[in-house]
Amino acid sequence: MTSPPRRYPDYDVLDKRDSPSWDDITRHVVAGRLNPPERQFFDDALWDVLIALCDTIMPQPDRDRPIAIWIDAALAQNRTTGTRYDNLPPMREAWKRGLAALEAEARLCHGRPFHDLAQDAREALLKAIDREEVAAPEWNDLPPRRMFREVLANEIVRVYYSHPDAWSEIGFGGPASPRGYVRLGPNRRDPWEAEESAATRRSAEP
Amino acid sequence: MISQGSEIRAKDGRAPDVFSRDGWVAMRQYREAEEVDVAVIGTGAGGGVVAAKLAEAGLSVVAFDAGAFYRPLADFASDEREQDKLYWTDDRISGGDDAIEMGSNNSGRAIGGSTVHFQMVALRFRPEWFQARSRLGYGRDWPVDWREMWRCYDEVEDALKIAGPVTYPWGPKRGRYPYRQHELNASAQVLARGAEAMGVDWSPCPISTVSAPRGKSPPCVYRGFCKIGCSTNAKQSILNTYIPRALAAGAEVRDLAMVGRIETGSDGRATGVHYHRDGEWRFQKARRVVVAGYSIETPRLLLNSSSPSHPQGLANAEGLVGTELMVHSNHAVWGVMEDEIRWYKGPPSMAVCEHWNYDDDKDFHGGYAFMSQGPLPTDFATSMVKNLGVFGMELRRRMALYNHMAGLKIVGEVMPTPANRVELSEETDALGLPLPRITFRFGENDRKLSDHALRFMRTMHEAAGARDIFETAGSAHLMGGCRMGFSAADGVVDGAGRAFSCPNLWIADGSVMPTGGGVNPSITIMANATRIAGHMIGAIARGEG
Amino acid sequence: MTSFAPPRERSPLAGAATALALAGLVGAGLWAARRPQPRPQPGSALPVETARQPAARRARQGGMLLAASAAIDGATEHYRGGFHRWEMYLGPAASIGALAASAMQAAMPRPLREGLLLTAAGVGLAGHAFHARNILDRPGGVCWSNLFYAAPIGAPGSVALAGLAGLAATMLERREPEMPHRRGRWIAIGTVAGLLGTTAEVALLHFRGAYHNPAMYIPVTLPPIAALTLGAAAARPSPTRLRLAHRMLGATAMMGLVGTAFHAWGVHRNMGGWRNWQQNLLVAPPLPAPPGFTGVALVGLAAIDLLEASE
């Protein structure tokens, strides 16, 4: 597994923490983001599945920022999104049943727990689920694709891209208040924005 | 981490000063046993306007909102996850073939409602849309004269000091916007180049954030977090325009006050509202009630307010409450640009093309506008996950191109259909109120429209230089559910917003819109609320209210 | 797909602004191009001799202020534009050259001095072309968006004015004017054009700011009135007219200085105020711009001095 190209090698959004780009509330919120809480919601069995799932959906060979613990924290608070699809159970139950079904699918297809599978086997399994090709009875009436995209992957990706390291990775300006931006046109950046490396700029390819 | 939003602030004769970090303004308060002139439920685009207008007309007003009373300067972080606190995230059951995603993209929960996190696009309806059925052959006519709406748009645009282009290419001649257009960001310039290549008009988008100082609002600093709450007060939302006006005129605003039921007497008239605040159910007496909870909560509240005189739910004698719920189709094309775009800078939609709202040479009813885009990272990443199913290193590689992306997204008109609706489910929430159940499906015309839009925008995006184009589908906004009509059989409320089957009940939010149009609805909701407030004041003055 | 012509927002105001600015520059340029009289007139009247010194001093001060204003404003704005092409260094550099020429006076060899001032005049004129191209290159071409936010079409004029004012000062210092009223009249014409051109640019930018503060109307009303009175005085000088023009130009000069205070207040009113100076010095009202009016007004006062002397 290769890391994505480092387009902004000299950029760390946290360097701006004490600049006018950050205000007090943002400093407070992001400081909290860097200090994960204790696990409260998931039991050990589902926790292993969740950790492996996070590693598959947002692989981090180049770093190790916690994702699963924030999902645990959100579910402990019963934090919801506002949408309960009528073919999905409430959020807490959806996560438990979704992870259990994933684990059952792994054992059924490979005879091994999900977290024991190699990365490409895990990816293949998730892609099958996304195609709604599932066999484990644990899925019951759960819609596999909706479960995968709207619940599991959605939240994992959300957590990943709410970490300052992810902002630095993609060259996002990050917090910006009271100081915003002056140079708005194409190929223009302010001194406090990420500078793209010349090598990757020449190859704006996916 | 919800660090703000759980403390009641509007009490003890004062309310938060939204232009300060920790200051207060004086607030008049009313006793619950005192029968106030008007109870307003909801303080968003509809309720906020009505509360201010009625209070300024000298009426005693108490406005309720389930959400918290924020001070943007101190409470709004530059952080997507934190700002989830602005959304209505209580469970709503969503079903149907094209189940609507609720929460962030259509429902706010704060004093100021969804305007606290709206995208600030301030486009007027095309005049013909108010007579869509008789002049364009689809949907419904509004029991409203478009010229009256035009005057109300003028008033609202001035109240929000909309920053718009000096000349607007579409629609009837109109006065100049109160503030000048903003500088176009790179993302908007992509739309402009594409439009010029296609030979269609484009325009800087009129938006509700000031381009020069206004009172205590500084001009926009182009920080780009508009959709998760403006922390500088440059955005002109209901929270920092109409709410301060309402308070100054003597209205009381009750934050974190969830209205669960409207009480009616044996004569069928509303007598007051039951609301939950500070851990208990309470009751406020009122001579009149205005409901402005938007297209889910308004029907939910009316349906939950059945009584012997309104056995099917309040104002639901004809069974119309909750029907013809609409969204806007929100499909988009995205592509990679050679240039660095850095679309996180500036308001997300700074350029607009309304060509297909005003050109009727097309194979579907209704129209659509499309705007340049600037989604924040998790918003963009999750839209790729949900639409394309990408994950893993593939997702990280795509996200690494974040600063080279540009997109075009529509606000597409969706036809009103009875089967798309809001009902009450068997399940109840923590307060014991029945959860809303939403059913939605795009119709054939809706699909034709979004197909047309995707085709056109893909061609245009390519012409602007975009590569590796992909499409996403989605919905945004809510309209309808308690539509205005010409008679009791035709609508829940009349053209003045008054319920046909309850003479002292008004509805003044987006739920009364009989059609959705092809533009973002906020400013139309505000203009219509301005109109309804005017009719209410007139009726009350004549002793008819 | 139905085909539509690309939109072109025609803007009368901006057109007028450009025309005025160019007219001003052409007028001033004609004056500058005029060859000085080859022979001094030793028998000139005494009052002219006494008027020459203050007139030269004022013109020189005006030129210095204009040059300083153009240098700082141009450098700031071009920094905002990221100096993304090398020509963007020319405007500020030429302004600094003009400033040095006017400030150092006799300490600088005359050919170098006049060369620097002529260069500033030329660079300013060429700047209009560059700015026009910047406008035309953007989507929309000549439309309000680009007149507001692309390279400002009128701004390079201040560089040209700085050069021309300095040249006027050097000529006044050099020799007795053969016919002071004629020289005074030429300087008055240049001043009128400079005032109107500057007003046009301010009108555009204050319009962009929606005239949100009533004080923003002052710099679009007072300078044209001053220009009118100066024009009247130059056309048919009389003590009353000269006195009136003198007062109005004095008021315009004051306004330029007070304007900077208003603009400083503007910086404070932007988000983050002075603490966010990295952003606000670039996007808030420009601090160095208003003294440009003071500079032009001082040159106008020099014209009055000459006209008074010949009265």
For B81, B248, B346, the CA distances from B74, given in Å and listed in that order, are 17, 22, 21
Q: How far apart are CA B340 and CA B343, in angstroms?
A: 9
Please report the pLDDT score of residue A154 as a whole number.
97
Q: What local confidence, expressed as pLDDT, does residue C100 receive?
A: 97
Cβ-Cβ contacts under 8 Å, C207 against chain B = 180
Secondary-structure percent of chain A, ordered helix, strand, coil, rounded to 5: 50, 0, 50
Residue C193 contacts residue C27 (beta carbons within 8 Å): yes
The closest of C247, C263, C15, C9 to C144, measured between CA atoms, is: C9
Q: Which residues are paired to B506 by β-bridges?
A: B290, B498
Residue B337 has pLDDT above 80, yes or no: yes
Q: Which chains touch C (3 or more CB pairs under 8 A)?
A: A, B
Task: Give the mutation candidate from B297, B372, B382, B472 for the A interface (greatest A CB count, under 10 A).
Answer: B382
Please give the pLDDT value at position C173: 85
**What count of residues does chain C have?**
311
C82-116 burial code (b ≥16 CB/10 A, e <16): beeeeebebbbbbbbbbbbbbbebeebeeeebbeb
pLDDT tens for B140-189 read 999 999 999 999 999 999 999 999 999 999 999 999 999 999 999 999 99
- H-helix or E-strand containing A71? helix A68-76
Q: Is the predicted pLDDT of residue C117 greater than 60, yes or no? A: yes
**How many domains does chain A divide into?**
1
Q: Does residue A178 have a cis peptide bond before it, meaning omega lies within 30 degrees of 0?
A: yes
Using a CB–CB cutoff of 8 Å, tell me whether C269 touches chain A: no
In this prediction, residue C177 carries a pLDDT of: 58
Please report, as a single letter, which amino acid is at residue B71. R
Report C:207-236 residues touching B (Cβ under 8 A).
Answer: 207-210, 212-213
Contacts of A162 in chain B (CB under 8 A): 79-81, 378
Q: Which residue in B78, B385, B404 is closest to A157 by CB distance?
A: B385
Tokens of B20: 């300060």
* Residues contacting residue B455 through CB under 8 Å, at least 6 positions apart: none
Domain membership of residue B8 (yes or no) is no
Query: Amino acid identity, residue A1?
Result: M
Residue B2: what pLDDT? Answer: 41
3 state SS of B254: strand
| Residue A55 belongs to a domain | yes
At C261-307, the pLDDT tens digits run: 999 999 999 999 999 999 999 999 999 999 999 999 999 999 999 99
A200: pLDDT confidence band, cut at 50, 70 and 90? confident
Q: Which of B114, B47, B202, B171 is nearest to B528 (CA)?
A: B47
Give the helix/strand (H/E) hosting B369: strand B368-372
* C-alpha B210 chain-centroid distance: 19
The DSSP letter of residue B309 is T
- Phi first, then psi, for residue C244 (nearest 5°) are -60, -45
| Both structure tokens of A118 | 């190699």
Q: For residue C9, what is the nearest residue in chain B, using CA coordinates?
A: B167
Report whether B301 contacts B259 (CB < 8 A).
yes
What are the tens digits of pLDDT across the range A157-173?
999 999 999 999 999 99
- CB-CB: which of B180, B202, B212 is closest to C7? B202
- Choosing among A18, A177, A179, A189, which should be mutated to test the C contact, i.e. which has the most C CBs within 10 A? A179
Task: Report percent pLDDT > 90 for chain C.
Answer: 76
Range of the domain at A92: 41-173
Residue B301 inside a domain? The answer is yes
Which chain A residues are Cβ-neighbours of C279 within 8 angstroms? 20, 179-182, 190
Mean pLDDT score, A175-183 = 97
Among the ranges given (B242-246, B263-267, C45-49), the one the predictor scored with the smallest mean pLDDT: C45-49
Q: Is the predicted pLDDT of residue C8 greater than 50, yes or no?
A: no
Average pLDDT score over chain B: 97
DSSP secondary structure code for residue C237 in this structure: -
User: In which band, very low, low, confident or very high, does the pLDDT at B323 lie, cut at 50, 70 and 90?
Assistant: very high
Residue C49 confidence (pLDDT): 53
- Please indicate if any CB of chain A lies within 8 Å of the CB of C10: no
Q: C111 CB contacts (<8 Å, ≥6 apart)? A: none
Q: How does pLDDT run across B69-79, given as a tens digit for each residue?
A: 999 999 999 99
Q: Residue C17: pLDDT above 60?
A: no
CB B249 within 8 A of CB B55: yes
Specify whether the CB–CB gap between B480 and B511 falls below 8 A: yes
- Chain A residues touching residue C76 (CB < 8 angstroms): none
Q: What are phi and psi of B426, to 5 degrees?
A: -75, -25
How close does chain B come to A26, measured CA to CA in Å?
A: 5
**Residue C22: its pLDDT value, please?**
35
Q: Which residues on neighbouring strands pair with residue B353, listed in sequence order?
A: B370
pLDDT, mean of residues B419-448: 97
- Domain-embedded: residue A28: no
CATH number at residue B437: 3.50.50.60
Q: Which domain holds residue B65?
A: 14-541
Question: Which of B77, B104, B346 is facing A184, going by the closest CB pair?
Answer: B346
pLDDT at C32: 33
Structural domain count, chain B: 1
> Rounded to whole angstroms, what are the CA distances from B528 to A159, B139, B144, B413, C72?
39, 18, 9, 18, 50
Domain ranges of chain C: 12-34+42-310
Question: Which one of B107, B338, B397 has the shortest CB-CB distance to A82?
Answer: B107
Asked if the structure places residue A13 within a domain, the reply is: no
Q: What pLDDT is recorded for position C180?
A: 76
Comparing CA positions, the residue from B468, B61, B467, B36 lying closest to residue B248 is: B61
ipTM: 0.97
Instruction: Write out pLDDT tens, residues B214-233.
Output: 999 999 999 999 999 999 99
Q: Is the pLDDT of residue B404 over 50?
A: yes
Per-residue pLDDT at C36: 36
